[in-house]
Structure 1
Amino acid sequence: MPLNHEHQLTILKDILTNHQSDCCGTVSECEQLERLVQSLLANDQITDDVKSKLNDVYYYSQSGKYSSDLDQHITNHQNQLSQWVTDIDSFS
């Protein structure tokens, strides 16, 4: 059974929250963020302003995946992570 967009947003928020609170993460989490965002961007039920935020998360995860120091990348994006988590709360 596929996940609906609400479940996908919940998983997205969980990963971002973990990055924010732990200041660390894994390449596989970045790849999971990318897959979630791609799926959500293809969903007609997602509004354009939400898609704009999702694009930001996508670029964050993509640059994190290729970063030589992922934990530092996450630390450098603490403000954005906090804002994205807040934004996702308002979407769902």
Structure 2
Amino acid sequence: MPLNQQNQVELLKDILSNHQVDCCGSVSELEQLERLVQSLKDESNLNPNVLEQIHNYSQNGIQSNNLDQHIESHQQQLSQWVSDVDQFS
């Protein structure tokens, strides 16, 4: 069953929140973020700049040698992105 736009926004927010709170994550979560962002770019009212920033965060994290450090270095942005996405959920 495909996720509707609301489900996608909630999942995006959940993954970002988990990274922000836990300061850790997985490559598969970052890959999921990329898929969500791509889908939401085409069909949502979310700020395209925020979606692009999240996409870049995901790509850089996937390529990072130390994923936890990558996540920790983006704590401020993660908090802002959660807030931005929360406005649309």
What is the rounded CA distance, in whole Å, between the counterparts of 2:83 and 2:64 in structure 1?
Answer: 25
Count of aligned residue pairs for this structure pair: 89
Displacement of 1:6 in angstroms is: 1.0
Partner residue in 2 for 1:11:
11
What is the rounded CA distance, in whole Å, between the counterparts of 2:3 and 2:47 in structure 1?
Answer: 18
Gaps of 5+ in 2: none
Displacement of 1:42 in angstroms is: 1.5
Aligned residues of 1:12 and 1:36 also touching (Cα < 8 A): yes
Following TM superposition, the consecutive aligned residue runs of length 4 or more in structure 1 with deviations greater than 3 angstroms are none
**CA RMSD across the alignment:** 1.0
Identity %: 60
* TM-score, length basis structure 2: 0.95
* TM-score, length basis structure 1: 0.92
- 2:69 corresponds to 1:75: no
Aligned residues of 1:27 and 1:65 also touching (Cα < 8 A): yes
Give the AA of the match of 2:3: L
Aligned residues of 1:50 and 1:91 also touching (Cα < 8 A): no
- 2:50 corresponds to 1:88: no
Aligned residues of 1:8 and 1:40 also touching (Cα < 8 A): yes
| SS of corresponding position for 2:65 | coil
Give the AA of the match of 2:62: K
Partner residue in 1 for 2:53:
56
What is the rounded CA distance, in whole Å, between the counterparts of 1:70 and 1:16 in structure 2?
Answer: 14
